Amino acid sequence: MTQYLTKFTSNITLILICSTSILATPNALAINNLVSKTAFVNAQDIIPSASFDIRYYTANNFVGKPIDAYKAPKCILHKDAVQALKKVNDELKKELKRLKVFDCYRPQTAVAHFMRWVDDTKDISTKAEYYPNLSKPLLKGEYIAEKSGHSRGYTVDLTIEYQTKDGQFTELDMGSPFDLFDEKSNTMSTLVTPKQTQNRLLLKNLMLKHGFSDYSMEWWHFTHTTDPRTTYWDFPIK
């Protein structure tokens, strides 16, 4: 009987060890990551009335060319962030306004592209438009870093558009354009007019109301508070 119990206990231990080993294999981790990735959705499908101008798919950005891994002009985000964003847009619709989105999930490959660009100090072709008062090395850290919250899928860059009398939409005047790396882009900058500050606070307060936190240096940048701040994804946008 004792021998049988010993053998039974040993078999159970072996099974547990094998199970733990299986869970730790790269394939198992890949499966877990695949399951997690299914939580990402295309925001255009959920919020079709919003406007999407995915800048890094185009050359209309601070690098001056399309960014690596942006294979399609899509706004991919975690479903929790999208549902919250939809509530923001629904509120704006009541006032004949809507969200205009510039960037959402950002692959780590794209972040690496940004880093190569910022390290190339000879390329200053976009300086006048995007960083007129800073040298490239000063962009590192607060504006461009080796890791971006965008790569976790909960961060979005956006503004507000309003509908004009002819039915067209135009951006609210925020005092500085998207991706202007400058003190003027700080949410509470004293370099903009009271009306421009009011427009920024309209965006900020709506986003905070629906579960986002802001980044004070960039009036357009918000992260949903359910962000676990763990995985930095690197699947392409396509």
Residues designated as active site: 218
Give the three-state DSSP class for 176: coil
What's phi and psi for 10, nearest 5 deg?
-65, -40
Among residues 141, 133, 138, the alpha carbon closest in space to that of 121 is found at 138
Question: Residue 232 carries which DSSP code?
Answer: -
> Which residues, including other chains, have CB under 8 Å from residue 103's CB and lie 6 or more apart?
54, 55, 56, 75, 150, 156, 157
Check if the beta carbon of residue 125 is closer than 8 Å to that of residue 64: yes
Separation of alpha carbons 188 and 192, rounded Å: 9
